[in-house]
Amino acid sequence: MPNLPPYVWKTQFKQGSTWYNLPDVQAVDIMRGRRLQIDDYGIDNATLLTRNPSGWTTAPKLGDQISVYIYAPGYVVGVDNFLMFTGRIRDVAITYGKVASEDEVTVSCEGLQADWGRAPLVNFSLPQQLTDESILDIGTEVGLSTAQFFGRSTNSAITFTGNALDLANQITRTEEARMWGYASSITATPALWWFGRNSNNASVYYFTDGSAASDTAAQKYDQIEFRSSADNYYNEVVVDPAAVATQIATLNQTPVYGLNKDTRDYSTAQASDHALWLLNNFQNKNQAVASISFTEIEQNSTIGTGAANAQPLILAETPIATKFAIVFRGSTYYTIGEGIQISARPGQTRFTIFMSGQDQNAYLTLNDPIYGKLDNNKLGF
Protein backbone atom coordinates (compact mmCIF):
# COMPACT_ATOMS: atom_id res chain seq x y z
CA MET A 1 0.00 0.00 0.00
CA PRO A 2 1.54 3.38 -0.99
CA ASN A 3 2.20 6.06 1.60
CA LEU A 4 0.91 9.62 1.60
CA PRO A 5 2.89 12.11 -0.50
CA PRO A 6 4.44 15.16 1.20
CA TYR A 7 1.88 17.82 2.00
CA VAL A 8 1.81 21.06 -0.01
CA TRP A 9 1.89 24.19 2.19
CA LYS A 10 0.43 27.53 1.12
CA THR A 11 -0.05 30.93 2.74
CA GLN A 12 -2.34 33.85 2.07
CA PHE A 13 -2.44 37.29 3.70
CA LYS A 14 -5.06 40.00 3.57
CA GLN A 15 -4.67 43.72 2.89
CA GLY A 16 -7.86 45.72 2.76
CA SER A 17 -10.44 43.33 1.35
CA THR A 18 -8.01 41.44 -0.92
CA TRP A 19 -6.17 38.20 -0.20
CA TYR A 20 -2.71 37.66 -1.67
CA ASN A 21 -0.57 34.53 -1.96
CA LEU A 22 2.77 34.47 -0.18
CA PRO A 23 4.92 32.57 -2.70
CA ASP A 24 7.81 30.16 -2.33
CA VAL A 25 7.33 29.16 1.31
CA GLN A 26 10.31 26.95 2.23
CA ALA A 27 9.69 26.24 5.90
CA VAL A 28 6.79 26.45 8.36
CA ASP A 29 6.91 26.23 12.16
CA ILE A 30 3.69 26.48 14.18
CA MET A 31 2.71 26.17 17.84
CA ARG A 32 -0.92 26.23 18.92
CA GLY A 33 -2.50 25.57 22.29
CA ARG A 34 -0.48 24.49 25.33
CA ARG A 35 1.86 21.69 26.37
CA LEU A 36 0.45 20.94 29.84
CA GLN A 37 -3.12 20.78 31.05
CA ILE A 38 -2.26 22.98 34.03
CA ASP A 39 -0.87 25.78 31.81
CA ASP A 40 -2.69 29.01 31.03
CA TYR A 41 -3.11 29.78 27.35
CA GLY A 42 -0.56 32.02 25.66
CA ILE A 43 -0.48 33.25 22.08
CA ASP A 44 -0.30 30.84 19.15
CA ASN A 45 2.60 31.56 16.82
CA ALA A 46 3.93 30.69 13.40
CA THR A 47 7.20 31.38 11.58
CA LEU A 48 7.50 31.16 7.79
CA LEU A 49 10.63 31.19 5.64
CA THR A 50 10.29 32.35 2.05
CA ARG A 51 12.59 33.71 -0.66
CA ASN A 52 13.11 36.37 -3.31
CA PRO A 53 10.96 39.25 -1.96
CA SER A 54 11.91 41.41 -4.96
CA GLY A 55 9.55 39.22 -6.98
CA TRP A 56 6.53 39.99 -4.81
CA THR A 57 3.77 42.10 -6.32
CA THR A 58 2.36 42.88 -2.86
CA ALA A 59 4.49 42.69 0.28
CA PRO A 60 3.08 41.41 3.58
CA LYS A 61 2.86 44.03 6.34
CA LEU A 62 2.64 44.16 10.10
CA GLY A 63 -0.93 43.46 11.23
CA ASP A 64 -2.12 41.74 8.04
CA GLN A 65 -4.45 38.80 8.65
CA ILE A 66 -2.70 35.59 7.57
CA SER A 67 -3.75 32.00 6.96
CA VAL A 68 -1.27 29.11 6.75
CA TYR A 69 -2.75 25.94 5.32
CA ILE A 70 -2.17 22.62 3.61
CA TYR A 71 -3.50 22.35 0.08
CA ALA A 72 -4.70 18.76 -0.25
CA PRO A 73 -7.59 18.20 -2.68
CA GLY A 74 -9.11 14.76 -2.98
CA TYR A 75 -9.03 13.74 0.69
CA VAL A 76 -12.35 15.20 1.89
CA VAL A 77 -15.22 15.80 -0.53
CA GLY A 78 -15.59 19.53 -1.18
CA VAL A 79 -12.54 20.51 0.90
CA ASP A 80 -9.19 21.44 -0.66
CA ASN A 81 -7.62 23.59 2.07
CA PHE A 82 -6.89 22.53 5.65
CA LEU A 83 -6.21 25.50 7.91
CA MET A 84 -3.25 25.02 10.27
CA PHE A 85 -2.80 28.59 11.53
CA THR A 86 -4.82 31.79 11.55
CA GLY A 87 -3.71 35.11 12.97
CA ARG A 88 -1.77 38.26 12.07
CA ILE A 89 1.69 39.11 10.83
CA ARG A 90 3.91 40.35 13.66
CA ASP A 91 7.18 40.96 11.77
CA VAL A 92 8.78 40.64 8.33
CA ALA A 93 12.58 40.32 8.42
CA ILE A 94 14.73 40.16 5.27
CA THR A 95 18.21 38.63 5.09
CA TYR A 96 19.89 39.75 1.88
CA GLY A 97 22.04 37.39 -0.19
CA LYS A 98 24.55 38.16 -2.92
CA VAL A 99 21.77 38.36 -5.52
CA ALA A 100 18.03 39.01 -5.20
CA SER A 101 17.08 35.38 -5.74
CA GLU A 102 19.08 34.43 -2.64
CA ASP A 103 17.30 36.90 -0.34
CA GLU A 104 15.38 35.18 2.45
CA VAL A 105 12.39 36.48 4.37
CA THR A 106 11.26 35.37 7.81
CA VAL A 107 7.59 36.14 8.44
CA SER A 108 6.66 35.94 12.13
CA CYS A 109 2.98 35.54 12.95
CA GLU A 110 0.86 35.66 16.10
CA GLY A 111 -2.45 33.97 16.80
CA LEU A 112 -5.70 35.78 17.48
CA GLN A 113 -5.01 35.57 21.23
CA ALA A 114 -2.67 38.54 20.64
CA ASP A 115 -5.70 40.65 19.65
CA TRP A 116 -7.29 39.67 22.96
CA GLY A 117 -4.09 40.55 24.80
CA ARG A 118 -4.02 44.01 23.21
CA ALA A 119 -7.71 44.68 23.93
CA PRO A 120 -7.98 46.87 27.07
CA LEU A 121 -10.76 46.52 29.60
CA VAL A 122 -11.32 49.36 32.05
CA ASN A 123 -13.75 48.83 34.93
CA PHE A 124 -15.43 46.17 32.83
CA SER A 125 -18.27 44.44 34.67
CA LEU A 126 -19.46 40.86 34.37
CA PRO A 127 -22.42 39.53 36.33
CA GLN A 128 -22.45 36.24 38.22
CA GLN A 129 -23.19 33.80 35.41
CA LEU A 130 -22.04 30.65 33.64
CA THR A 131 -18.49 30.82 32.36
CA ASP A 132 -19.32 30.45 28.65
CA GLU A 133 -21.65 33.45 28.88
CA SER A 134 -18.77 35.49 30.30
CA ILE A 135 -16.47 34.52 27.42
CA LEU A 136 -19.14 35.74 24.99
CA ASP A 137 -19.54 39.01 26.93
CA ILE A 138 -15.78 39.66 26.94
CA GLY A 139 -15.54 39.09 23.19
CA THR A 140 -18.53 41.33 22.55
CA GLU A 141 -17.05 44.11 24.68
CA VAL A 142 -13.77 44.19 22.75
CA GLY A 143 -15.26 43.40 19.32
CA LEU A 144 -13.70 39.96 18.87
CA SER A 145 -15.49 36.83 17.67
CA THR A 146 -16.09 33.83 19.93
CA ALA A 147 -17.63 30.40 19.64
CA GLN A 148 -18.22 29.27 23.22
CA PHE A 149 -19.88 26.08 24.44
CA PHE A 150 -20.83 24.14 27.55
CA GLY A 151 -19.79 26.23 30.52
CA ARG A 152 -20.60 24.31 33.72
CA SER A 153 -19.10 26.49 36.43
CA THR A 154 -20.38 29.89 37.55
CA ASN A 155 -18.06 32.86 37.86
CA SER A 156 -18.49 35.54 40.48
CA ALA A 157 -19.54 39.07 39.59
CA ILE A 158 -16.44 40.87 38.29
CA THR A 159 -15.22 44.43 37.81
CA PHE A 160 -11.99 44.11 35.88
CA THR A 161 -9.26 46.39 34.56
CA GLY A 162 -6.62 44.79 32.38
CA ASN A 163 -6.62 43.01 29.03
CA ALA A 164 -9.18 40.62 27.58
CA LEU A 165 -6.82 37.63 27.33
CA ASP A 166 -5.98 37.76 31.04
CA LEU A 167 -9.65 37.79 31.96
CA ALA A 168 -10.43 34.99 29.47
CA ASN A 169 -7.70 32.90 31.09
CA GLN A 170 -9.19 33.54 34.54
CA ILE A 171 -12.58 32.35 33.32
CA THR A 172 -10.99 29.37 31.55
CA ARG A 173 -9.08 28.46 34.71
CA THR A 174 -12.31 28.62 36.72
CA GLU A 175 -14.05 26.26 34.31
CA GLU A 176 -11.02 24.04 33.54
CA ALA A 177 -11.94 24.71 29.92
CA ARG A 178 -9.92 24.64 26.69
CA MET A 179 -9.67 27.35 24.04
CA TRP A 180 -7.99 27.91 20.69
CA GLY A 181 -8.10 30.10 17.60
CA TYR A 182 -9.93 28.78 14.58
CA ALA A 183 -11.63 29.94 11.38
CA SER A 184 -14.17 28.12 9.23
CA SER A 185 -12.12 28.75 6.07
CA ILE A 186 -8.81 30.29 5.06
CA THR A 187 -10.50 33.65 4.34
CA ALA A 188 -12.97 33.69 7.24
CA THR A 189 -12.71 35.88 10.32
CA PRO A 190 -11.03 33.84 13.07
CA ALA A 191 -12.79 33.28 16.37
CA LEU A 192 -11.78 32.16 19.84
CA TRP A 193 -13.24 28.69 20.26
CA TRP A 194 -13.92 27.82 23.89
CA PHE A 195 -15.17 24.49 25.26
CA GLY A 196 -16.15 23.68 28.83
CA ARG A 197 -14.42 20.95 30.73
CA ASN A 198 -16.45 17.88 29.70
CA SER A 199 -17.15 18.77 26.09
CA ASN A 200 -14.47 16.88 24.21
CA ASN A 201 -14.66 16.31 20.48
CA ALA A 202 -16.80 13.24 19.81
CA SER A 203 -14.25 11.84 17.36
CA VAL A 204 -11.46 9.55 18.54
CA TYR A 205 -8.18 9.42 16.63
CA TYR A 206 -6.22 6.20 16.84
CA PHE A 207 -2.46 5.73 16.70
CA THR A 208 -0.55 2.48 16.93
CA ASP A 209 2.95 1.04 16.98
CA GLY A 210 1.51 -2.20 15.60
CA SER A 211 1.90 -4.12 18.88
CA ALA A 212 -1.84 -4.66 19.44
CA ALA A 213 -5.14 -4.43 17.62
CA SER A 214 -6.45 -0.93 16.96
CA ASP A 215 -8.98 0.85 14.78
CA THR A 216 -8.79 0.30 11.02
CA ALA A 217 -8.13 4.04 10.60
CA ALA A 218 -5.23 4.02 13.07
CA GLN A 219 -2.22 6.11 12.10
CA LYS A 220 1.45 5.42 12.72
CA TYR A 221 3.71 7.43 15.01
CA ASP A 222 7.48 7.32 15.33
CA GLN A 223 8.06 9.19 18.60
CA ILE A 224 6.29 9.03 21.95
CA GLU A 225 7.08 10.80 25.22
CA PHE A 226 5.85 9.90 28.69
CA ARG A 227 5.78 12.71 31.23
CA SER A 228 7.17 12.23 34.72
CA SER A 229 4.91 12.38 37.76
CA ALA A 230 6.29 15.83 38.58
CA ASP A 231 3.73 17.28 36.18
CA ASN A 232 0.93 14.85 37.00
CA TYR A 233 0.97 14.57 40.77
CA TYR A 234 -0.09 17.00 43.49
CA ASN A 235 -0.98 16.22 47.09
CA GLU A 236 -2.20 19.71 47.97
CA VAL A 237 -4.28 22.10 45.88
CA VAL A 238 -5.06 25.71 46.76
CA VAL A 239 -7.91 27.39 44.88
CA ASP A 240 -7.91 31.14 45.56
CA PRO A 241 -11.07 32.78 44.17
CA ALA A 242 -11.17 36.55 43.87
CA ALA A 243 -14.56 36.90 45.58
CA VAL A 244 -14.67 34.23 48.30
CA ALA A 245 -12.38 32.51 50.79
CA THR A 246 -9.43 30.39 49.67
CA GLN A 247 -10.13 26.66 49.61
CA ILE A 248 -7.53 23.96 50.23
CA ALA A 249 -7.76 20.27 49.37
CA THR A 250 -4.91 18.24 50.82
CA LEU A 251 -3.76 14.72 51.59
CA ASN A 252 -1.76 16.08 54.58
CA GLN A 253 1.42 14.49 53.32
CA THR A 254 5.02 15.60 53.20
CA PRO A 255 6.81 16.66 51.16
CA VAL A 256 4.13 18.92 49.75
CA TYR A 257 3.63 18.88 45.99
CA GLY A 258 1.43 21.94 45.65
CA LEU A 259 -0.73 23.41 42.90
CA ASN A 260 -2.12 26.95 43.29
CA LYS A 261 -4.89 28.37 41.11
CA ASP A 262 -6.35 31.88 41.11
CA THR A 263 -9.97 31.62 39.94
CA ARG A 264 -13.30 33.41 39.73
CA ASP A 265 -15.35 30.68 41.47
CA TYR A 266 -18.51 32.31 42.76
CA SER A 267 -18.94 30.40 46.03
CA THR A 268 -16.87 28.57 48.62
CA ALA A 269 -18.79 25.39 47.77
CA GLN A 270 -17.82 25.56 44.09
CA ALA A 271 -14.24 26.51 44.96
CA SER A 272 -14.00 23.61 47.41
CA ASP A 273 -15.36 21.18 44.80
CA HIS A 274 -12.90 22.62 42.28
CA ALA A 275 -9.95 22.08 44.61
CA LEU A 276 -11.05 18.53 45.44
CA TRP A 277 -11.53 17.72 41.76
CA LEU A 278 -8.00 18.91 40.98
CA LEU A 279 -6.55 16.98 43.93
CA ASN A 280 -8.24 13.76 42.85
CA ASN A 281 -7.39 14.27 39.18
CA PHE A 282 -3.68 14.62 39.83
CA GLN A 283 -3.19 11.59 42.05
CA ASN A 284 -1.42 9.41 39.50
CA LYS A 285 2.28 8.92 40.25
CA ASN A 286 2.73 6.84 37.12
CA GLN A 287 4.04 8.40 33.96
CA ALA A 288 1.45 9.43 31.38
CA VAL A 289 1.67 10.06 27.64
CA ALA A 290 2.89 13.62 27.15
CA SER A 291 3.12 13.71 23.36
CA ILE A 292 3.33 11.73 20.17
CA SER A 293 4.98 12.74 16.92
CA PHE A 294 4.42 11.60 13.34
CA THR A 295 4.82 12.61 9.72
CA GLU A 296 2.46 12.32 6.79
CA ILE A 297 4.91 10.35 4.64
CA GLU A 298 4.85 7.36 7.02
CA GLN A 299 1.04 7.02 6.78
CA ASN A 300 -0.84 4.79 4.37
CA SER A 301 -2.60 6.63 1.56
CA THR A 302 -5.92 4.95 2.44
CA ILE A 303 -7.59 3.79 5.65
CA GLY A 304 -9.15 0.40 6.30
CA THR A 305 -12.36 1.25 4.45
CA GLY A 306 -10.41 2.07 1.30
CA ALA A 307 -11.16 5.79 1.61
CA ALA A 308 -8.42 8.37 1.16
CA ASN A 309 -6.52 8.92 4.41
CA ALA A 310 -7.55 12.40 5.59
CA GLN A 311 -7.00 11.61 9.28
CA PRO A 312 -3.74 13.59 9.80
CA LEU A 313 -5.21 16.64 8.07
CA ILE A 314 -8.46 16.67 10.02
CA LEU A 315 -6.96 16.07 13.45
CA ALA A 316 -4.19 18.66 12.90
CA GLU A 317 -6.80 21.34 12.19
CA THR A 318 -8.51 20.90 15.58
CA PRO A 319 -6.44 18.71 17.90
CA ILE A 320 -7.30 20.53 21.12
CA ALA A 321 -10.07 18.91 23.20
CA THR A 322 -9.89 15.93 20.85
CA LYS A 323 -9.71 12.35 22.12
CA PHE A 324 -6.88 9.98 21.22
CA ALA A 325 -6.31 6.25 21.74
CA ILE A 326 -2.64 5.30 21.47
CA VAL A 327 -1.35 1.74 21.32
CA PHE A 328 2.17 1.44 22.71
CA ARG A 329 3.84 -1.92 23.39
CA GLY A 330 0.56 -3.77 23.70
CA SER A 331 -1.28 -1.26 25.92
CA THR A 332 -3.79 1.41 24.91
CA TYR A 333 -3.51 4.89 26.42
CA TYR A 334 -6.45 7.30 26.26
CA THR A 335 -5.63 10.99 26.10
CA ILE A 336 -6.99 14.47 25.31
CA GLY A 337 -5.20 16.87 22.97
CA GLU A 338 -3.84 20.04 24.60
CA GLY A 339 -1.76 21.57 21.82
CA ILE A 340 0.11 20.96 18.58
CA GLN A 341 3.51 21.81 17.15
CA ILE A 342 4.05 21.58 13.40
CA SER A 343 7.35 21.72 11.53
CA ALA A 344 7.24 21.54 7.73
CA ARG A 345 10.23 21.33 5.41
CA PRO A 346 10.50 20.24 1.77
CA GLY A 347 9.74 16.53 1.72
CA GLN A 348 7.80 16.08 4.95
CA THR A 349 5.74 17.67 7.71
CA ARG A 350 6.15 16.64 11.35
CA PHE A 351 3.21 16.95 13.74
CA THR A 352 3.66 16.72 17.53
CA ILE A 353 0.49 16.47 19.62
CA PHE A 354 0.77 17.45 23.29
CA MET A 355 -1.64 15.50 25.51
CA SER A 356 -3.06 14.97 28.96
CA GLY A 357 -3.95 11.51 30.20
CA GLN A 358 -7.35 10.00 30.86
CA ASP A 359 -6.76 10.24 34.62
CA GLN A 360 -6.33 14.01 34.31
CA ASN A 361 -9.70 14.36 32.54
CA ALA A 362 -12.04 12.75 35.02
CA TYR A 363 -15.38 14.24 34.09
CA LEU A 364 -18.64 12.42 33.68
CA THR A 365 -19.34 12.23 29.95
CA LEU A 366 -22.51 10.26 29.42
CA ASN A 367 -22.55 7.36 26.95
CA ASP A 368 -18.77 7.46 26.58
CA PRO A 369 -16.98 4.13 27.12
CA ILE A 370 -13.82 5.80 28.44
CA TYR A 371 -14.91 9.10 30.01
CA GLY A 372 -18.37 7.93 31.10
CA LYS A 373 -17.20 5.85 34.04
CA LEU A 374 -18.06 6.91 37.58
CA ASP A 375 -15.43 7.26 40.24
CA ASN A 376 -15.09 9.20 43.46
CA ASN A 377 -14.55 12.66 41.96
CA LYS A 378 -16.54 13.04 38.76
CA LEU A 379 -19.78 14.21 40.28
CA GLY A 380 -18.26 16.85 42.57
CA PHE A 381 -17.32 19.48 40.02
Bridge partners, 158 (sequence order): 126
| Mean pLDDT for the chain overall | 92
**CATH T-level fold of 116-195:** Phage tail protein beta-alpha-beta fold (3.55.50)
Task: Please compute the mean of the pLDDT values over residues 236-243 and round it to a whole number.
Answer: 97
**pLDDT at position 288:** 83
**pLDDT at position 370:** 62
DSSP letter at 359 equals G
Percentage of residues of the chain with pLDDT beyond 70 = 93
**pLDDT at position 359:** 59
Percentage of residues of the chain with pLDDT beyond 90 = 84
Residues 220 and 209: their CA atoms lie apart, in Å, by 6
Residues 146 and 166: their CA atoms lie apart, in Å, by 16
**pLDDT at position 249:** 97
**pLDDT at position 287:** 80
Give the tens place of pLDDT for each residue, 259-287. Answer: 999 999 999 999 999 999 999 888 878 88
Task: Please compute the mean of the pLDDT values over residues 18-36 and round it to a whole number.
Answer: 97
- pLDDT confidence bin for 22, thresholds 50/70/90: very high
Say yes or no to pLDDT of 375 above 80. Answer: no
Instruction: Indicate the domain borders of the chain.
Output: 116-195, 234-281
One-letter amino acid identity for 14? Answer: K
pTM attached to this predicted model: 0.94
Element (H, E) at 270: helix 268-281
Give the tens place of pLDDT for each residue, 103-149. Answer: 999 999 999 999 999 999 999 999 999 999 999 999 999 999 999 99
Name all contacts of 255-262 with Cβ < 8 Å and 24+ positions apart: 257/233, 258/234, 259/38, 259/234, 261/173, 261/237, 262/170, 262/173
Say yes or no to pLDDT of 364 above 70. Answer: no
- Helix/strand/coil for 76: strand
Residues 32 and 9: their CA atoms lie apart, in Å, by 17
Say yes or no to pLDDT of 360 above 90. Answer: no
**pLDDT at position 376:** 46
Inter-residue contact 237 to 259 (CB < 8 Å): yes
